[in-house]
Structure 1
Amino acid sequence: MLKQQIQADMKSAMKAGDKDRLAVIRLIMAAIKQREVDERIELDDAQVLAVLDKMVKQRRDSIDQYTQAGRDDLANGERAEVEIIQTYLPAQLTESEIAACIDEAVETTGAAAMSDMGKVMGVLRPKIQGRADMGAVSALVKQRLGG
């Protein structure tokens, strides 16, 4: 399981004295633990991926804000965290792979208008969670449905 891999990597980072990596892995474990406590469940790999995906999205938003404010030092710190978090995410999909997934989801759901976007995203999310920026995918779906 992904959670055990993250815990093993935390021990390795401790032994190696890699403080930056250890700090990020601790943030990941805290986010996972928080969700498990809040929902009183043990997260499976798909749910852990959703947590990691959310963490990457938050950091990308922070990078944008720091860059606009001229705080490149803080933006670089966030970029380093994104790189570490992404090591636990599956390989990112290419644009053509994302387009193929969208086409398949539109065909499966029979979507023809913007009102069908929820159906399309419902089919897409489990397939590409953690493998693509869901905000960008949403924009592509809107474009495909004529929005």
Structure 2
Amino acid sequence: MSLLEQLTSDMKEAMKAKDKVTLGVVRMVKASVSNEQIKLGHDLTADEELAVLSREMKQRVEEMESYKDADRADLAEEIQGQIDVLKRYMPAQMSEDEVVAIVKETIAEVGASSKADLGKVMGALMPKVKGKADGKLVNTTVQSLLG
């Protein structure tokens, strides 16, 4: 089942259950996926769908952080609900230990030895963890292991 079909099905379920948070998020993601399809002119591949979902997730995480910084716990809680809905469509996230292991493996593969090799390591590493690990966590892990 494609992501669009899954979203359509979940949208119907959310309407029946009168779940406004899920319905709102599913509609927004469905619109983003449809817009991306129109922009690219073809059905999306799994990687392209993941890119759309990652973009939606990143927007909400940044929005939640800004609400927390502004001491707006009520709005941050609302955004957290949206993030929880989005997580249903994202691949399982890697644990910190898994990230450390794959970073060490990639550092060995590219032969990196100092922070000067950060770009080389990140270039080889990001395709492996795309959508499965937080970019900030990956970056800080690489920096700490190269430092």
TM-score by length of 1: 0.87
Residues 111-137 of structure 1 show CA distances to partners (whole Å, capped at 9, x for unaligned) of 223333233223322322222211221
Structure 2: 5+ residue runs without aligned partners?
A: none
2:88 matched residue in structure 1: 87
Partner of 2:110: 109
When residues 68 and 22 of structure 1 are mapped into structure 2, their CA distance, relative to the original with a 3 A threshold, is same
Q: Label 1:69 to 1:45 Cα distance change in 2 as closer, same or farther (>3 A).
A: same
Equivalent residue number for residue 56 of structure 2? 55
Bigger relative contact order (CA 8 A; separation at least 6): 1
Tell me, which stretches of 5 or more residues in structure 1 are unaligned?
none
SS at match of 2:71: coil
Instruction: Note the aligned Cα RMSD (angstroms).
Output: 1.8
Cα distance in 2 for residues equivalent to 1:39 and 1:85:
23
Percent of paired sites with the same residue: 38
**1:79 Cα deviation (Å)?**
0.4
Aligned partners of 2:39, 2:120: CA distance in 1, in Å? 28
Are 2:42 and 1:34 equivalent residues in the alignment?
no
Q: Does 1:64 align with 2:65?
A: yes
Distance 1:23 1:117, change over 3 A: same
Instruction: Report the Cα offset of residue 41 of structure 1.
Output: 3.4
Give runs of ≥4 in structure 1 deviating > 6 Å.
none
Please name the residue that 1:123 is paired with.
Answer: 124
